[in-house]
Amino acid sequence: MPPDDTGDVNQLARTAPAGAAMAAVTDDWVTRAAAGDPAAQERLIREQWPRVEGLLARMLGPRADLEDLVQTVFIETVRALPRFRGDSKVSTFVGGITVRVAMRAMRARGRAPRVVPLPSQLLSSEPGPERRAEAVELLQRVRALLEDLSEVKRVAFMLWALEGMAVDEIATLMGASVPATRSRIFYAQKELRTRAARHPELRALIGAGDG
Amino acid sequence: MAEEELDTGLRERLQALAAAEQDPLPERARARVVDAVRRDTRQRRVRKIGAGVCAAIAAAAGVALWLAPATPAPDAATPTAHAPTVKADECALVQAARGVRFEASRGGGRSLVVAGHLRVVATSGASATRMLVEPCTVAIDLQAGRVAVQARDRKGGELRVRTTHGDVVVRGTTFSVNASEDALAVELVEGSVQVERARRAALTLAAGEALVARGQTVTRTPLTAQARATLLAQLAADAPTPAASAEQVAAPQEPAAPEQPEAAPNAQAPPPAESLLARADGARRDGRVADARRLYRKAGGQRGPAAEAAWLRLARMEMERGRERAARAALDAHGRRFASGVLAAEASWIHVQLVQHKGEDAATRAAAKALIRAHPKSPQARAARRLLRNAGVGDP
């Protein structure tokens, strides 16, 4: 789905001093992608695809419109590239945009009911689909418990807990300080434990009552 | 802060679960995204050029005003009025489709409704997503399974069903697309569609035609009454809820069912026949014959073309498994419930085949002649005539 707006996606880029944009870019292909070179844009998409797809999947869970969201991320990335100053990794730049697209999708979710595609292995006759189904079910319940939390807390927690990212990396992507990010994760974790205590099937997983 | 301890054990447990959660997007998704990014880049260039021309005209008009203030040109105050028109980003179809997603429908599948424009019903198990391709295309990306489509006023936009084997571009109307690992099947009830496959000439399908494209081979056949009824039933069964349907595309006319369904034993509505039929088909494909039988019978107990089709599919399944008596029982059930149903010709043809399987030549010929008399213009009558010709019997 093409982006609805680009209002805040360029926040990282805007932090660059005027005139410094692109000056520090050492990767020539990034410069060319910013200038609209199709081959360079394709390379950007190819290299960043797994990260963007993975981040969106972890933050949002299974969604039928995942491809739309990936597309939105790349369109917004290419639009923002001319203002990429080049003193951070491209992956960090793309990750920041991915986080913002995910948060927008979270906000929009109330307007559009989510369709959850079943992983294909659940429909196959391979061994283990029941276990996989259980895992998916458990994780969906965990996500449901976190739905009332603010988007920033949820995203910070999902990136830390599911994607396995370090707190400082999450802080960079979210444009927040490390202590604030750590605090968001902590409070999301605490809230999750409190809520899981009411669900016996989740207590062992979450460690409800431990803290 | 020491008290803000993060639980790494919890993190490890959740990460283990997350590994199972989502299938990766298919490889061709990347090509689509690359296309979309390129289109976006091109469109932004066009806008920039348009804006540049506007600015140039504005500047020129300003200079003209400065040079000749005593005789202002009528348009000088609105110089952009003569600027070249920059193509609008989106047409009405894409605007209407923005934000619309596939949603669970009462037929057991998922449906996507763009009010006043189109309705797409994906059967349960089908993997389909909606894509918007600016400036004016709504694409349904069908990875596997079947979608039924009813397109009305597309406001000049394009509707396209994309599959691995090719695209189906809508010129009408009411049709279905079925994508499997090795083939693309299209059934067209109304209007026309164009089937586009890589490195092959596009094919235009007319109303009442069906097409199966498998590798190099393309087979075009008349659409059977059963297939037509099933498609219409699918669209009807997955119609939106009455409260929401006022502005939405009207469901196609479902042929009248001649009989009432079996009285429901309780107040709770049973699953729609179309949903049961789809599940039964799935069970049959998976080799779960007992489940398929049960589901076909359950579907057959309801009303509408899907219920009627259920008995005939059960009969055909039993016939293919050599269970002639069971096949006949299913045919009899069909006859009792749908004495003048829309699939009567198909029922007669199954009867002919059953008799033929038993090796009763005279009875086979008699049954074929009866079919031709009762349904002379049906595709089944053509098959019956062929059978008679092969048996050395002329047209009755």
- Chain A CB within 8 Å of residue B48 CB: no
> Domain for residue B366, yes or no?
yes
Q: Do A88 and A167 lie in a common domain? A: no
Q: Is residue B186 part of a domain?
A: yes
Q: Tell me: the pLDDT tens digits for A83-104? A: 887 778 889 999 999 999 998 8
Is residue B252 within 8 Å of residue B238, measured between CB atoms?
A: no
Residue percentage of chain A with pLDDT more than 70: 73
Question: Tokens at residue B39, please?
Answer: 């289109």
**Are residues A104 and A165 both part of a single domain?**
no
Q: How far is A199 from chain B (nearest CA, A)?
A: 16
If asked whether residues B286 and B361 sit together in one domain, one would say: yes
B241, part of any domain: no
Rg (CA), chain A: 19
Q: Judge whether B10 lies within some domain.
A: no
Q: Are residues A15 and A103 in the same domain?
A: yes
Task: Tell me if A119 is assigned to some domain.
Answer: no
User: Which residues in chain A are contacts of B40 at CB distance < 8 A?
Assistant: 2, 75, 78-79
Mean pLDDT of the region B309-321: 87
Q: A70 and A17 in one domain?
A: yes
Preceding amide of B135 cis, omega within 30: yes
* Dihedral Cα B73, B76, B82, B86, nearest 10 deg: 180
**pLDDT value of position A204:** 80
Is B177 found in the same domain as B129? yes
Where residue B265 falls among pLDDT bands split at 50, 70, 90? very low
Q: Are residues A56 and A104 in the same domain?
A: yes
B381 and B301 belong to one structural domain: yes
Residue B205 lies in a domain: yes
Residues B189, B235 contacting (CB under 8 angstroms):
no
Rg (CA), chain B: 28
pLDDT at A25 over 60: no
Quick one: B317 and B209 in the same domain? no
Spatial separation of the C-alpha atoms in residues A28 and A22, rounded to whole Å:
10
Whether B352 shows a pLDDT value over 50: the answer reads: yes
Contact assignment for B20 to A135 by CB distance below 8 Å: yes
CB contact under 8 A, B18 and A162: yes
What's the pLDDT tens digit per position in B5-39? 888 888 888 888 887 666 678 878 888 888 888 88
Q: Name the strand (E) or helix (H) holding B128.
A: strand B127-133
CA proximity to B274, closest of B121, B120, B103: B121
Q: What is the CATH number of the domain that holds A155?
A: 1.10.10.10
Same domain, A104 and A148: no
- Residue B95's contacts (CB-CB under 8 Å, 6 or more residues apart) are none
Contact B304, B233 (CB under 8 A): yes
Is there a single domain that holds both residue B279 and residue B385?
A: yes
- Complex ipTM, two decimals? 0.75
- Can you give the residue range of the structural domain that contains B40? 27-84
Listed ranges A184-193, B35-44, B157-166, B236-245; the one with the highest mean pLDDT? A184-193
Q: Is the pTM of this model over 0.95?
A: no
Q: What total number of domains does chain A contain?
A: 2
A28: Cβ contacts below 8 Å, ≥ 6 apart: none
Three-state DSSP state, A118: coil
| Same domain membership, residue B117 and residue B47 | no
Report the residue of B34, B110, B121, B241 to disrupt the A interface, i.e. the one with the largest count of A CBs within 10 Å.
Answer: B34
Residues B76 and B157 in one domain: no
In a domain, A3, yes or no: no
B160 domain-assigned: yes
Q: How many CB pairs under 8 A join A and B?
A: 146
Mutate to test the interface with A, among B40, B89, B95 (most CBs of A within 10 A): B40
Max Cα–Cα distance, chain A, nearest Å = 59
Q: Which residues of B touch A64 (CB under 8 A)?
A: 101-102, 129
Give the residue, B140 or A111, on which the prediction is more confident.
Answer: B140
Residues B202, B97, B28: CA angle, nearest 5 degrees: 50
Do A70 and A42 share a structural domain? yes
Model pLDDT for residues A145-187, shown as the tens digit of each residue: 888 888 899 999 999 998 889 999 999 999 899 999 999 999 9
Residues A193 and A158 in one domain: yes
In b/e form, how buried is each residue of A95-132, taking b as 16+ CB within 10 angstroms? bbbbbbbbbbbbeeeeeeeebebebebbeeeeeebeeb
Among A75, A108, A141, the domain boundary falls at: A108
Between CA A86 and CA A69 the distance in angstroms is 24
CA distance A67 to chain B (A): 7
Domain boundary among B65, B84, B103: B84
CA B10 to CA A59: how far, in whole Å?
Answer: 17
Q: Give the CATH number of the domain where residue A73 resides.
A: 1.10.1740.10
Domain that holds residue A202: 128-206
Cβ neighbours around A39 below 10 Å, total: 10
Which residues 240-279 on chain B approach chain A with CB closer than 8 angstroms?
none
Which pair of tokens denotes residue B233?
């039933």
CA-based nearest residue to B228, from B104, B58, B342, B86? B342
In a domain, A116, yes or no: no
A17 and A86 co-located in one domain: yes
Is residue B278 in some structural domain?
Answer: yes
| C-beta atoms of A115 and B36 within 8 A | no
Mean pLDDT check: name the lowest of A135-139, B69-73, B243-247: B243-247
- To the nearest whole angstrom, how far is the Cα of A169 from the nearest Cα of chain B? 15
A18 and A104 both lie in a single domain: yes
Residues sharing a CB contact under 8 Å with residue B90, sequence separation 6 or more, in sequence order: B98, B134, B135, B136
| Contact yes or no for B101 and A115 at CB 8 A | yes
Residue A172: both structure tokens together: 């960079």
User: In chain A, which residue's Cα lies nearest the Cα of B10?
Assistant: A206
A142 contact B CB<8A = yes
- Which residues 6+ apart lie within 8 Å of B51 measured at CB? B86
In a domain, A6, yes or no: no
Q: Give the closest of B17, B33, B110 to A135, CB-based.
A: B17
Spell out the residues 6+ positions from residue B27 whose beta carbon is closer than 8 angstroms to its own.
Answer: none
Q: Are B303 and B342 in contact (CB under 8 A)?
A: no
Q: Which of B32, B144, B124, B107 is nearest to A66 (CA)?
A: B32
The minimal CB distance from A115 to the residues B24, B32, B103 is found for B103
Q: Is residue B137 part of a domain?
A: yes
**Pair A22, A100 in one domain:** yes
CATH number at residue B136: 2.60.120.1440
Tell me, yes or no, whether A4 lies in a domain: no
Interhelix angle B305-320/B344-357, rounded to 10 degrees, is 10
d(CA B369, CA B384): 7
Of A131-140, B148-157, B317-326, the range with the lowest mean pLDDT is B148-157
* Interval B77-103: pLDDT, tens: 332 223 222 233 456 777 777 777 777
Which among A38, A57, A65 has the least Cβ separation from residue B21?
A57
Would A87 be classed as within a structural domain?
yes
Least-confidence region, from A91-100, B51-60, B264-273, B307-316: B264-273
**Which residue in chain A has the smallest CA separation from B101?**
A112
The domain that contains B292 carries what CATH number?
A: 1.25.40.10
**Are B97 and B67 contained in the same domain?**
no
Residues A97 and A175 in one domain: no
SS3 B194: strand
**In chain B, how many domains are there?**
3
Does pLDDT of B178 surpass 50?
A: yes
Residue A118 lies in a domain: no
Asked if B20's CB is within 8 angstroms of A45's CB, the reply is no
The arithmetic mean of pLDDT across residues A197-205, rounded, is 82
- In whole angstroms, what is the distance from residue A172 CA to residue B162 CA? 39
CB proximity B11 to A under 8 Å:
yes
**C-beta of residue A119 within 8 angstroms of C-beta of residue B20:** yes
